[in-house]
Amino acid sequence: MVVGDFPIETDTLVVGAGPGGYVAAIRAAQSGQKVTIVEKGDLGGVCLNVGCIPSKALIEAGHKTQAAQGNADLGITTENVSVDFSKVQEWKGQVVNKLTSGVESLLKGNKADIVKGEVYFVDKNTVKVMDEKNSQTYTFNNCIIATGSTPIEIPNFKYSDRVLDSTGALNLQEIPDKMVVVGGGYIGIELGTAYANFGTEVTILEGTKEILGTFEKQLKQPVKKGLKNKNVNVVTEAMAKGVEESDDGVKVTYEVNGKEETVDADYVLVTVGRQPNTEEIGLEQVGIDVDDKGLIKIDKQCRTNVDNIYAIGDIVEGLPLAHKASYEGKVAAEAISGEKSEIDYLAIPSVVFSDPELASVGYTETEAKDAGYDVKASKFPFGANGRALSLNNTDGFMKLITRKEDGLVIGAQVAGPNASDVIAEVGLAIEAGMTAEDIALTIHAHPSLGETVMEAADVALGTPIHTM
């Protein structure tokens, strides 16, 4: 890093190069702004390096392992299936490296200056960027803060070689015989399922009455069935109390129904949420409003109370989703350029890469009714879909939420194979203001999982073809 008494000037400074920051930097550069992006870690942030991408790679390797075991229903049997987990990790690393190097190329291709270091705000137009040796002052006209989040560490579960956060779980060099997962949210379910597919004996401890608390109970039933089939022990209303570590394992103590229990394992994975990275970057120097959770308050254009500073991603209100951060990054960059872009989260999907996958977009039936809509919920089972049958993967359903008065599509929930892909069509329908009739009149390829959306639209219209 260049050290000097004179500040380096830039139009837009982006702090953080995760899926929010790097997308914001590219969009700002495309709008003609001179952009500098600062990242203290690796380009791509948590998502590309130790989150979304490596976890999905590990999940896919787990699916491949399960498939290699054969399927007696299909007349396929196998013997002596083995997993070289070091090779799995090597492949996962290649996936990550390809994407992170791609981010660097995209930033450079759009003429954004990449700077390594940590940012500390001096005032509303100035920051210090520091690395291990040097410090450099940067001045800017506008700034987009995208510093992301880190896993929450709970009392009596200090992270170590045996007490893991999600990063630690993704980087294990062995398949554990036993693992305890504290927290039944989407990260705990995804990673717990992945290791169960590798043959790990998994126990999930969830403090509330239900796993995956943000999803409808009916939607979660296929996931619960899948966990049971993998011999995953799910304990709800269980309060994790503490852990004893040894050289070769852990003993986790938890309380359930007023009784203290223990479970032994090789590792314990703690996934009880994430906290925003908004401390120690000098926000108080600028007077930026932060709530009691450390989240920065923003308006519809992602602007903070300081008019030239914007915030996006995990450091603002809402679910910590990579695609939410990217979306907000585009809005902030466009707002800086004088465009009228505003955030609208109605058509933003939530996905869990469980087994089967879960996906939701727009309103649920309950949310729609609470919002005052008179709605119709129309379901179509994957068991009646030709492609799902040919995949031998029929658990789950598509549920379409439409407004009764005109058939307007306002939401959908999917539990089933490739739900993360199937949900995209409904997101587009909501964004475009389409009706159930619009979807029903759209010719879908046969056989395909996407047909479940068309079939659910037929149900909404009262003219179902492949279900009663």
Single out the catalytic residue among 63, 323, 444, 446: 446
Alpha-carbon gap, residue 112 to 366, rounded angstroms: 45
Alpha-carbon gap, residue 312 to 137, rounded angstroms: 23
CA distances from 154 to 165, 179, 271 (A): 11, 18, 10
DSSP secondary structure, 410-468, as one string = EEEEEEETTHHHHHHHHHHHHHHT-BHHHHHTSPPPSS-TTHHHHHHHHHHHT--SS--
Helix locations, 149-297, DSSP H? 166-170, 186-197, 217-229, 283-286
Question: What is the three-class DSSP state of 49?
Answer: helix
Question: What is the three-class DSSP state of 189?
Answer: helix
| Residue 88: both structure tokens together | 């799995």
Binding residues for NAD(+): 183-190, 206, 273
Q: Starting from the edge strand earliest in sequence, which strands make up the sheet with 267-270, in order?
A: 163-164, 267-270, 178-182, 201-205, 233-235
Binding residues for FAD: 56, 147-149, 314
Of the candidates 15, 213, 175, which has an alpha carbon nearest to the alpha carbon of residue 81? 175
Verify whether residue 323 is a known catalytic residue: no
Of the candidates 94, 99, 137, 132, which has an alpha carbon nearest to the alpha carbon of residue 17? 99
Q: Yes or no: say if 23 and 110 are a contact pair by the CB < 8 Å rule.
A: no
> Phi and psi of 325, rounded to 5°?
-60, -45
Side chain identity at 240, as an amino acid letter? A
Binding residues: 56, 147-149, 183-190, 206, 273, 314
How would you classify the pairing of strands 8-15 and 35-39?
Answer: parallel
The answer for 45, left when phi > 0, alpha when psi is -120 to 50, beta otherwise, is left
**Residues forming the active site:** 446
